[in-house]
Amino acid sequence: MARRSRHRLLLLLLRYLVVALGYHKAYGFSAPKDQQVVTAVEYQEAILACKTPKKTVSSRLEWKKLGRSVSFVYYQQTLQGDFKNRAEMIDFNIRIKNVTRSDAGKYRCEVSAPSEQGQNLEEDTVTLEVLVAPAVPSCEVPSSALSGTVVELRCQDKEGNPAPEYTWFKDGIRLLENPRLGSQSTNSSYTMNTKTGTLQFNTVSKLDTGEYSCEARNSVGYRRCPGKRMQVDDLNISGIIAAVVVVALVISVCGLGVCYAQRKGYFSKETSFQKSNSSSKATTMSENVQWLTPVIPALWKAAAGGSRGQEF
């Protein structure tokens, strides 16, 4: 019984395989192929090859660029978009004469042709990688620094592909990644990171005064930023002490001047003068009031007499 059940299972599996193969032939789907990777330098040419059978009269070809949205590159026997002016077709292949970084991505060619089993469709995928040389890196170098402090210089490029490595130069001479291997006349306290582009002095000294520039380099090319000078000076302790003494003397002189003025009574004279002015103003007002006192009744009588005359 066990053998019979095994035979039945094998027969079922064989029938399933036959049905699957027949379905595959009927609809003409091609078996998956290994994806191609094409590498090209920016502004040079690249060929995207479609690995399919030979072209026939009845073959229909389409090229598409894959991504968030699928766009046609070659459709109805015509190149689409800006590929019209900088690409050409060679059989099923696309020759891009002037590759740009925006061309990077995945492309798919689709070839359909009638066959005995029906419409046959074959696909092939190509990945285009565009190598870009670095641009002039941006360099951050402080113009001045105090000896004994921590100073960091920065260098960065955002365009290079693959990501560039960075090298620093002082007065046109390349700084070694390991400062201990350098000459004794240079400061060995710095740390250089060739991946991030930083140059850090843990304790900067006057020996580090000079012009610094940074170079970004990858497999395509390299660029260097203009040199910038960094001046390192010692901390002038005597100058700081002298400035503090001068400020203290100025404050002392001002305080003594105020005390002297108070002793001489300059501030009290000023208040007495203000008081005399206010008293003189008060006497003047009182005199005006005394002068107006006999005049007001006379004016009142004259006004009353005039009103009586008008009544009669």
- pLDDT value of residue 273: 45
- The per-residue pLDDT for 130 is 97
Q: Do 150 and 226 lie in a common domain?
A: yes
Question: Is residue 239 in a domain?
Answer: no
Q: Are residues 123 and 200 in the same domain?
A: no
279 domain-assigned: no
Pairing of strands 165-170, 210-217: antiparallel
Residues 142, 229 within the same domain? yes
Q: CA 123, CA 61: separation in Å to the nearest integer?
A: 10
| pLDDT tens for each residue of 233-245 | 987 665 567 666 6
Quick one: 122 and 199 in the same domain?
Answer: no
Q: Is the domain of 71 the same as that of 115?
A: yes
Classified as helix, coil or strand, 113 is strand
- Predicted confidence at residue 114, as pLDDT, reads 78
Cβ atoms of 212 and 139 closer than 8 Å: yes
119 and 153 within one domain: no
Say what angle helices 266-292 and 295-311 make with each other, to 10 degrees: 30
Q: Is residue 274 part of a domain?
A: no
Does residue 270 form part of some domain?
no
Same domain, 158 and 102: no
Same domain, 42 and 124: yes
What pLDDT is recorded for position 164?
97
206 is a domain residue: yes
The total number of structural domains in the chain stands at 2
Please report whether residue 248 resides in a domain: no
166 and 222 share one domain = yes
Within a domain: 217: yes
Domain that holds residue 143: 138-233
H or E element in which residue 200 lies: strand 198-201
- Return the amino acid letter for 155: C
Say whether both 150 and 120 belong to one domain: no
Q: Report the C-alpha gap between 203 and 251 in whole angstroms.
A: 37
Same domain, 176 and 202: yes
Q: Are residues 63 and 95 in the same domain?
A: yes
Which CATH number is 107's domain given? 2.60.40.10
Domain end, chosen from 233, 266, 299, is at 233
Q: Which pLDDT value is given to residue 240?
A: 64
Spans in the chain with pLDDT lower than 70: 1-34, 53-57, 181-188, 236-240, 242-246, 260, 264-312
Judge whether 182 lies within some domain.
yes
* pLDDT the model gives residue 173: 94
The pLDDT score that the predictor gives to residue 59 is 84
